[in-house]
C-alpha cells in the first residue's frame, strides 16, 4: 500500500500555505505565485544548491532565524519564510556581485545583478571572458535526463570547471544540445570538447560543408535515389560500395568502419584496404564510439579520412573537423552517414534477447530492423520481435536525438523509403557527388513520403523530450503504429 503523503502548513511572506511534505520551499512559493530567482535549479533535475540565489530567510519552530536555499530546503509544519526580507535581498546582492565578478560579460548575470542594484562587480575579476557559473545544470541534464554522462566537473577551487573526461573530445556526447539549451549563460565551454548542435551550430555546418536544397526534415540535399549494388550488404550495399570505390580512387586512404568483435559486440576500426572495408559490411544495431579514432588518425598525420557513422557520431565528427581545420587546413574528411532511429546497448540487448526471444544475440549471423520488427537470423532461421519490446535495451540518449537521415553527412545511406535489398541514398555535398562518380548500381525512386513520415516522427519524439527542459509547443505525435522505424515501402 502506498504511504500517504502528509500536508504541512507554513507561512510564506505572511500568507499561510499548505504543501505536501517533501516539497521544497521554492515549489511551495511557486504555487502562491511568489517569484524567487534561481540559476542552478530545474524542476526536471535533482537539486544542486550551488548558486544560492534562491536564498530565503526562515524562522523554524524553535524561533531560530537563518538564511537557507529554498530550492532544496523542505517545507515543515509551522515554518515561517520570508522571500524578500532585508537580509534576503542583501544576501542575493552579495551573491550576484560575486557572480558578476566571475562572469562580468554574461547578459543574464548582468541583468539579475542590475535588478539587485549591482552595476559593476566590487570583487576582482580573474577572467573577464569567463561565462560558466558552475551551476551544474548541463552535467545533470546530460547525466540524469539524456543519460549520456558526457560531461562532469573537474578540478577544484578556482580551477573548477565543466569538461569532458581528460579535456579530450568526448566519445560519449551524442550532440543532442540539451546541455547548451539548459545553460543559463549560454557558455562557450560546452562547445569545446562536446558537440551540442543547436540551430546556429547546424547552420554553420550546413554552410561550411554541404550544398543543395534545405528541407526542414531531411536537411540539405542535392539528390535522392534508391540503389542496389552487387555487394551483399545490410540493404543495397551502398555504404560499402562507396567506401571501396572512394579508397580505390584515392579519395581517402583510411576509413573508420565498424566491425563485429566477440559475439554481437562491435568496435570501430581503421580500414586501410578494400578487404577491411568489405569485412565491416552489415549493420550492428549498437552505438559504437569512433571519434577518438578520428582524432588519433589526424594526430598520426593522416589527412584523407573517411568515416561511416550514425547521426550522433557524425555530429561529433563535424564539430571535430571544424575544430581541427584551423591547425590542419589540408584535412579532407568524407562522411558516409547511416540513417538511424535508435541503437541498443550490447549487454542489455543480450539480456533482453535471451529473456524475450530465447536466443543468444552473440550467435546471430545478421540483424535487421524493418517495419518495427527486430529480426535476428541464426543459421538461416529468423527470430522476430517488435522493436518496442526491446526498448529497455535502447542506448541512453536516443530519445533526445532528432535526426533520422544523418543530415550532416556528405552522403547518407539508409533503408527507409526503398524496397528490401535497396539502399536509400541522399547526396548532400560535392564530396558526396564525387564519391558516386563511376559507381555501378541499379537505381529507383525513393518513397519520400515514407521517409519524411519517419523522420518527423523521430523529430517530434525528441521535441517532446526536450519540452521537459525547455517548454515549447509540442507537435501532435504521429501514431507509432503508422511510423514503424525502418519501415520499408
Ligand X SMILES: Cc1cc2nc3c(=O)[nH]c(=O)nc-3n(C[C@H](O)[C@H](O)[C@H](O)COP(=O)(O)OP(=O)(O)OC[C@H]3O[C@@H](n4cnc5c(N)ncnc54)[C@H](O)[C@@H]3O)c2cc1C
Contact residues for ligand SF4, defined by CB under 6 A: 141-142, 146, 148, 150-151, 173-179, 194, 196, 287, 310-312, 340, 342-343, 395, 397-398, 401
Asked if 237 interacts with ligand X (CB under 6 A), we say yes
Binding-site partner at residue 397 among ligand FES, ligand SF4, ligand X, none, CB < 5 to 8 Å by type: ligand SF4
225, 341, 374, 441: which one contacts ligand X (CB under 6 A)?
Answer: 341
Instruction: Name the segment binding ligand X (CB under 6 A); options: 298-306, 345-353, 408-416, 472-480.
Output: 408-416
Q: CA 480, 483, 489 angle in degrees (round to 5)?
A: 155
Binding-site partner at residue 175 among ligand FES, ligand SF4, ligand X, none, CB < 5 to 8 Å by type: ligand SF4
Distance CA 152, CA 162 (A): 5
- State how far Cα 439 lies from the chain centre: 34
Asked if 142 interacts with ligand X (CB under 6 A), we say no
Nearer to ligand FES by C-beta: 55 or 465?
55
Asked if 99 interacts with ligand X (CB under 6 A), we say no
User: For the chain, give me the number of helices (H) and strands (E)?
Assistant: 13, 20
Binding-site partner at residue 257 among ligand X, ligand SF4, ligand FES, none, CB < 5 to 8 Å by type: ligand X
Residues whose CB falls within 8 Å of the CB of residue 326, separated by 6 or more in sequence, listed in order: none
Binding-site partner at residue 288 among ligand SF4, ligand FES, ligand X, none, CB < 5 to 8 Å by type: ligand X
Nearer to ligand X by C-beta: 83 or 283?
283
At residue 95, φ and ψ (nearest 5 deg) are -60, -40
Q: Are 360 and 379 in contact (CB under 8 A)?
A: no
* Neighbour-count burial for 32-63, b at 16+ CB within 10 Å, e otherwise: eebebbbbbbbeebebbebbbbbbbbbeeeee
Distance CA 86, CA 82 (A): 9
Q: Are 467 and 42 in contact (CB under 8 A)?
A: no
Give, as one character, the DSSP assignment of residue 43.
T
Nearer to ligand FES by C-beta: 116 or 252?
116
Nearer to ligand X by C-beta: 76 or 421?
421
Binding-site partner at residue 312 among ligand SF4, ligand X, ligand FES, none, CB < 5 to 8 Å by type: ligand SF4
Tell me which residues touch ligand FES (CB under 6 A).
Answer: 38-41, 49-54, 69, 71
- State how far Cα 3 lies from the chain centre: 37
Q: Where are the alpha helices (DSSP H) in 60-198?
A: 86-102, 107-115, 137-140, 178-182
Least Å distance, CB 194 to ligand FES, is: 23
Kindly list the distances between the CA atom of residue 482 and the CA atoms of 128, 251, 384, 450, 486, in Å, as whole numbers in the listed order. 53, 41, 19, 10, 12
Binding-site partner at residue 53 among ligand X, ligand SF4, ligand FES, none, CB < 5 to 8 Å by type: ligand FES
Least Å distance, CB 450 to ligand X, is: 10
Binding-site partner at residue 146 among ligand FES, ligand X, ligand SF4, none, CB < 5 to 8 Å by type: ligand SF4
Distance CA 207, CA 204 (A): 5
Binding-site partner at residue 51 among ligand SF4, ligand FES, ligand X, none, CB < 5 to 8 Å by type: ligand FES
Binding-site partner at residue 306 among ligand SF4, ligand X, ligand FES, none, CB < 5 to 8 Å by type: none
Distance CA 211, CA 14 (A): 63
Among residue numbers 445 through 484, which ones bind ligand X (CB under 6 A)?
A: none
Asked if 397 interacts with ligand X (CB under 6 A), we say no
Least Å distance, CB 304 to ligand X, is: 17
486 burial via Cβ count (<10 Å: 0-12, 13-18, 19+): buried
415, 456, 465, 489: which one contacts ligand X (CB under 6 A)?
Answer: 415
56, 210, 343, 427: which one contacts ligand X (CB under 6 A)?
Answer: 343
Torsion sign (Cα): 145, 308, 362, 369? positive
- Which residues face 374 on adjacent strands? 369, 385
Residues interacting with ligand X, by CB under 6 A? Answer: 231, 233-240, 257-258, 266, 280-286, 288, 308-310, 338-341, 343, 369, 413-416, 423, 485-486
Amino acid at each position: 500500500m502506498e504511504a500517504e503523503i502528509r500536508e504541512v502548513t507554513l507561512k510564506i511572506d505572511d500568507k499561510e500555505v499548505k504543501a505536501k511534505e517533501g516539497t521544497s520551499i521554492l515549489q511551495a512559493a511557486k504555487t502562491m505565485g511568489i517569484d524567487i530567482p534561481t540559476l542552478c535549479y530545474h524542476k526536471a533535475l535533482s537539486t544542486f544548491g550551488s548558486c544560492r540565489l534562491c536564498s530565503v530567510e526562515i524562522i523554524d519552530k524553535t524561533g531560530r532565524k537563518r538564511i537557507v536555499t529554498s530550492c532544496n530546503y523542505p517545507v515543515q509544519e509551522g515554518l515561517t519564510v520570508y522571500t524578500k526580507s532585508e537580509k534576503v535581498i542583501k544576501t542575493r546582492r552579495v551573491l550576484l556581485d560575486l557572480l558578476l565578478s566571475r562572469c562580468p560579460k554574461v547578459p543574464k548575470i548582468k541583468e539579475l545583478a542590475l535588478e539587485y542594484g549591482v552595476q559593476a562587480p566590487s570583487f576582482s575579476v580573474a577572467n573577464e571572458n569567463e561565462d560558466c557559473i558552475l551551476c551544474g545544470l548541463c552535467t545533470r541534464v546530460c547525466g540524469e535526463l539524456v543519460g549520456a554522462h558526457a560531461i562532469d566537473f573537474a578540478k577544484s577551487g578556482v580551477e573548477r570547471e565543466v569538461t569532458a573526461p581528460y579535456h579530450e573530445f568526448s566519445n560519449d556526447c551524442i550532440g543532442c544540445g540539451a546541455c547548451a539549451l539548459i545553460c543559463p549563460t549560454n557558455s562557450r565551454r560546452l562547445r569545446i570538447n562536446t558537440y551540442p548542435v543547436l540551430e546556429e551550430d547546424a547552420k554553420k555546418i550546413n554552410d561550411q560543408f554541404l550544398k543543395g536544397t534545405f528541407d526542414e526534415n531531411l536537411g540539405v540535399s542535392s539528390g535522392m535515389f534508391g540503389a542496389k549494388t552487387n555487394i551483399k550488404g545490410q540493404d543495397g550495399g551502398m555504404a560499402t560500395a562507396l567506401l571501396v570505390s572512394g579508397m580505390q580512387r584515392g579519395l581517402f586512404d583510411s576509413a573508420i568502419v565498424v566491425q563485429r568483435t566477440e559475439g554481437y559486440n562491435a568496435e570501430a576500426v581503421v580500414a586501410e584496404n578494400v578487404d577491411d572495408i568489405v569485412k565491416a559490411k552489415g549493420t550492428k544495431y549498437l552505438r559504437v564510439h569512433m571519434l577518438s579514432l578520428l582524432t588519433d588518425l589526424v594526430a598520426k598525420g593522416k589527412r584523407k579520412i573517411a568515416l561511416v557513422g550514425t547521426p550522433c557520431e557524425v555530429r561529433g565528427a563535424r564539430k571535430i573537423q571544424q575544430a581541427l581545420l584551423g591547425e590542419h587546413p589540408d584535412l579532407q574528411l568524407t562522411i558516409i552517414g547511416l540513417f538511424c532511429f535508435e541503437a541498443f546497448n550490447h549487454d542489455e540487448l543480450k539480456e533482453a534477447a535471451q529473456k524475450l526471444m530465447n536466443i543468444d544475440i552473440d550467435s546471430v549471423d545478421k540483424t535487421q530492423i524493418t517495419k518495427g520488427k527486430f529480426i535476428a537470423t541464426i543459421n538461416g532461421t529468423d527470430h522476430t520481435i517488435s522493436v518496442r519490446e526491446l526498448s529497455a535495451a535502447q542506448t541512453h540518449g536516443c530519445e533526445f536525438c532528432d535526426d533520422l537521415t544523418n543530415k550532416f553527412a556528405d552522403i547518407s545511406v539508409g533503408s527507409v523509403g526503398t524496397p528490401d535489398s535497396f539502399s536509400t541514398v541522399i547526396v548532400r555535398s560535392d564530396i558526396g557527388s564525387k564519391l558516386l562518380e563511376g559507381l555501378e548500381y541499379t537505381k529507383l525512386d525513393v518513397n519520400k513520403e515514407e521517409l519524411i513520415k519517419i523522420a518527423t516522427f523521430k523529430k517530434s519524439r525528441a521535441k517532446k523530450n526536450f519540452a521537459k527542459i525547455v517548454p515549447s509547443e509540442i507537435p501532435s505525435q504521429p501514431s507509432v503504429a503508422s511510423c514503424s522505424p525502418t519501415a520499408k515501402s
